[in-house]
Structure 1
Amino acid sequence: MNTKKQIAIIGLGYVGLPLAIEFAKKHQVIGFDTNESRVAELNKLEDRTHEANLDDLQAVFSEAEVGLTLSVNLADLAACTVYIVTVPTPIDHLKRPDLQPLLSASKMLGIVLKVGDIVIYESTVYPGCTEEDCVPVLEKISGLKYNIDFFCGYSPERINPGDKINTLTKIKKVTSGSTTAIAEEIDQLYASIITAGTHLAPSIKVAEASKAIENAQRDVNISFVNELALIFDRMGIDTADVLAAAATKWNFLNYKPGLVGGHCIGVDPYYLAHKSEALGYKPEVILSGRRVNDNMGMFVANKVIKMLVARNKAINGSKALILGFAFKENCPDTRNTKVIDIYRELKSFSMHVDVHDPWANADEVKAEYNIQMIENNRFEHYDLVILAVAHRQFLEIDYGGFRKKGAIIFDTKSFIDRDLTDARL
């Protein structure tokens, strides 16, 4: 295998940017994105995702024989021989897979695809999607034949947004290819940057399925403890206390209850379920877990409404503060955040609701959710404060001050001292 490649990374988001930086340390890389403002920001060493090591980014920009250049011009990709697709794969409002970004990227690559090129997909999909949905598009646009003129691979992304310990190179990478030789070549390519090692799957479909089930498994496990939280709430006992006691057994899986959003756990199970139903089997466990997790925001909102009523507080016109809007702690990613469910339910009761998140991009939240977030120096009197995300900055807030003014404090993450709260999930 030629050890030095010309690689194009398609999509410079949470997955694509770290990948482009690592490959650019050993190969010539073009990072491509259709978002001109995103490319302009990165060229100025600004990263709104906070996923990139900016020192590394600056270093690969200045490399000569290898290194990274960024582009919004499709023609710049023509000299590349390996194309890695890292575009989003969301769900629509009916919770069905939305392959539009993936298919659009495939159409675009079909224009520049040449004999001998390799297209690798990292976007999360259902088993079979690469060869059944993407390859026909590549063939149609390029006029080339799959596994004769060009080849494909699949290597599921395992980026954990906000995690500065388990970073790209430290997480074992699953690889696969459309022929035995191409699979080996793809595996060696990733092995050149992944210090944790690689796992070569026997087929593209197996690699796709492995990604689908790793997130579905976590989703089901969280749904179990979320259901426990619903049960223990009716019993009047603290879920965290129960879990702490149960965790003393050596083989207990100590998951925590909470809101399950984001672009992986809250989305991927629907891709697996979609493919399963298309084959005539309706998955019971996967979808039941999704229903439990999707309803947790509604449960939190109705729980705090009942607490306000119990204190004889008027609901209409009362003030609430939601702390956190990202889908997880210490991360700016608001994709598929379930905090929005709490917000909308409280608003439906004609409450005044403020949202504060020191990580989330205020302009993006306004554009996507029509919520104008507030700064922490604008905190005022509130009847209700909900800690929705466990950002480290929230440990510094004076919750006692809120309580002295009569606010109910609800902690969805069991994050702060329980003596500072009125209830927690």
Structure 2
Amino acid sequence: MKTINPKIAVIGLGYVGLPLAVEFGKKYITIGFDINSDRISELEMGNDRTLEVTSENLLLSELLSFTNDTEILSQFNVFIVTVPTPIDKNNRPDLSPLLKASETVGKALKKGDVVIYESTVYPGATEEDCVPVLEKISGLTFNKDFFCGYSPERINPGDKVHTVTKIRKVTSGSNAETADYVDSLYASIITAGTFKASSIKVAEAAKVIENSQRDINIAFVNELSVIFSLLGIDTHEVLEAAGTKWNFLPFKPGLVGGHCIGVDPYYLTQKAQEVGYNPEIILAGRRLNDRMSAYVASRIIKEMIKKKHRIADSKVLVLGITFKENCPDIRNSKVFDLVKEFVEFGCEVDVFDPWADEQEVKKAYSLNLLSRINGDTYDAIVLAVAHKEFEDIDIAALRNGSNAVIYDIKGVLPKELIDCRL
């Protein structure tokens, strides 16, 4: 390997790639590459629409630059791929962004270069799916002319405490020398330290089970919520009581969306099915979590009927549309499914979210957001996302009479204010 002095190209500048590029750019010559020219223009002006990186940090480093020009990439010798790995409409892994990124890297690849993947995949994807693309496009031989690593991303969008350098990083390489190189490269910027896995497949598997484990645990408490609702017991009170035991895990019920927890398990189950095993617990958890939007809508409609509301043309306000609080990320947000359920019941639905980009929501889901709370009153009000701005809203004043239903999905509103919560 000749990459003693790394010149780093980060491929994909979303929630994962941009913070990583900024950190590497503090120590090494680094370029951030993205196919979206508008994204590049914004970043060059110091504007990050994801709100993960401040303008000061974007403009501070003389070693960091941005481009959408593939020709420039050949000047670099370490390529870090951080593109999305979504699922299709049938919940099957969609590797097309990853394979296209591999083609882009393959055109710039030279002898001695290292390609590191961070995108979440099933075990084997790096060496079985990506490497053949790199070899085909570059004409080079894997583990002879170029080398690969895998270091799974652990970005938590919107989290200003557990940032990229403060989360321990798993690393791996296609041979022992590459593994050492990749580990030392990340160790130079990750203050929380690194963990060198024994192989790329182990590192891939470690990533995909992290979010699968969370998905299953949330599915468990979601099921408890359904059961306790039928029993007339407050789920949050039960969890608070159970949480007094030192080893009780503090999971809460909720809508499971986002780019990781609601997606990653399907990468593992797909691979399991390919080798002849049908995973039961993982898929059961996925099915239950995917049904929660419909369950919440149904429960709210029932509460409205009990209060003598006419459901057709009733007015519903949904507070929050992003997949989590204090974050503009709308990817795979299950609140959209909730809104769709209300619309199918014949309700008129308003959605307010001060964090979401109105144009992005319109383009992705054909949904018009309220630009502000405009003084209207509603037959039902749903707190779907616990944005800090909602703490200052007088939700009681939004009720269309005393019979209006207030439902708290996140369990953060005063109990005396709400009719029910998940």
Q: State the TM bucket, normalised to the shorter chain.
A: over 0.9
Deviation of residue 379 (structure 1)?
4.1
Matching residue of 1:31: 32
The structure 2 residue matched to 1:199, chosen from 175, 180, 195, is 195
Aligned equivalents of 1:3, 1:389: Cα separation in 2: 47
The structure 2 residue matched to 1:229, chosen from 225, 229, 242, is 225
Q: In structure 2, the residue corresponding to 1:378 is in which secondary structure?
A: coil
Deviation of residue 3 (structure 1)?
5.7
Matching residue of 2:411: 414
Deviation of residue 55 (structure 1)?
1.6
Deviation of residue 112 (structure 1)?
1.0
Q: In structure 1, the residue corresponding to 2:66 is in which secondary structure?
A: strand
Contact 2:256–2:290, Cα closer than 8 Å, also in 1:
yes
Which 4+ residue blocks in structure 1 deviate beyond 4 angstroms?
Answer: none
Aligned equivalents of 2:148, 2:284: Cα separation in 1: 34
Aligned equivalents of 1:52, 1:220: Cα separation in 2: 31
Matching residue of 2:164: 168
Q: What TM-score, normalized to structure 2?
A: 0.98
Bigger shift: 78-87 or 51-60?
A: 51-60
Matched to 2:57, the amino acid is: D
Bigger shift: 373-382 or 170-179?
A: 373-382
Matching residue of 1:297: 293
Matching residue of 2:320: 324
For residues 131-176 of structure 1, give each alpha carbon's deviation from its aligned partner in whole angstroms, at most 9, with x where no partner exists: 0000001111111110011110000000000000000000000000
Deviation of residue 378 (structure 1)?
2.0
Matching residue of 1:134: 130
Aligned equivalents of 2:293, 2:243: Cα separation in 1: 26
Contact 1:4–1:26, Cα closer than 8 Å, also in 2:
no
Matching residue of 1:354: 350
Q: Give 5+ residue unaligned stretches, structure 1.
A: none
Matched to 1:254, the amino acid is: P
Contact 1:39–1:72, Cα closer than 8 Å, also in 2:
yes
Deviation of residue 39 (structure 1)?
0.6
Q: Are 1:261 and 2:261 matched, yes or no? A: no
Aligned equivalents of 1:357, 1:3: Cα separation in 2: 47
Aligned equivalents of 2:283, 2:319: Cα separation in 1: 29
Deviation of residue 387 (structure 1)?
0.3
Matched to 1:146, the amino acid is: F
Contact 2:3–2:77, Cα closer than 8 Å, also in 1:
no
Q: Are 1:250 and 2:251 matched, yes or no? A: no
Q: Give 5+ residue unaligned stretches, structure 2.
A: none
Deviation of residue 54 (structure 1)?
2.4
Q: In structure 1, the residue corresponding to 2:373 is in which secondary structure?
A: helix
Matched to 2:290, the amino acid is: D
Q: In structure 2, the residue corresponding to 1:376 is in which secondary structure?
A: coil
Deviation of residue 224 (structure 1)?
0.4
Alignment RMSD, CA only?
Answer: 1.0
Matching residue of 2:144: 148
Q: In structure 2, the residue corresponding to 1:153 is in which secondary structure?
A: strand
Matching residue of 2:44: 43
Deviation of residue 2 (structure 1)?
6.0
Q: In structure 2, the residue corresponding to 1:291 is in which secondary structure?
A: helix
Aligned equivalents of 1:90, 1:19: Cα separation in 2: 20
Matched to 1:37, the amino acid is: D
Aligned equivalents of 1:276, 1:114: Cα separation in 2: 35
Aligned equivalents of 1:83, 1:251: Cα separation in 2: 41
Identical amino acids, percent of aligned pairs:
58
Q: Are 1:73 and 2:69 matched, yes or no? A: yes
For residues 58-102 of structure 1, give each alpha carbon's deviation from its aligned partner in whole angstroms, at most 9, with x where no partner exists: 111xx2xxx111001001111100000000000000000000000
Matched to 1:286, the amino acid is: I
Matched to 2:48, the amino acid is: D
Aligned equivalents of 1:141, 1:405: Cα separation in 2: 66
Q: In structure 1, the residue corresponding to 2:407 is in which secondary structure?
A: strand
Deviation of residue 106 (structure 1)?
0.6
Q: Are 1:113 and 2:109 matched, yes or no? A: yes
Matching residue of 1:54: 55
Contact 2:375–2:398, Cα closer than 8 Å, also in 1:
no
For residues 224-271 of structure 1, give each alpha carbon's deviation from its aligned partner in whole angstroms, at most 9, with x where no partner exists: 000000000101110000000000111111100000000000000000
The structure 1 residue matched to 2:302, chosen from 278, 283, 306, is 306
Aligned equivalents of 1:369, 1:103: Cα separation in 2: 26
Matching residue of 2:7: 6
Matched to 1:295, the amino acid is: R
Deviation of residue 349 (structure 1)?
1.2
Aligned equivalents of 1:36, 1:12: Cα separation in 2: 11
Matched to 2:35, the amino acid is: T
Aligned equivalents of 1:36, 1:16: Cα separation in 2: 16
Bigger shift: 379-388 or 193-202?
A: 379-388
Deviation of residue 350 (structure 1)?
1.3
Aligned equivalents of 2:416, 2:378: Cα separation in 1: 19
Contact 2:108–2:138, Cα closer than 8 Å, also in 1:
yes
Matching residue of 2:214: 218
Q: What TM-score, normalized to structure 1?
A: 0.97
Deviation of residue 373 (structure 1)?
0.2
Q: Are 1:374 and 2:370 matched, yes or no? A: yes
Aligned equivalents of 1:200, 1:163: Cα separation in 2: 25
Aligned equivalents of 2:408, 2:247: Cα separation in 1: 28
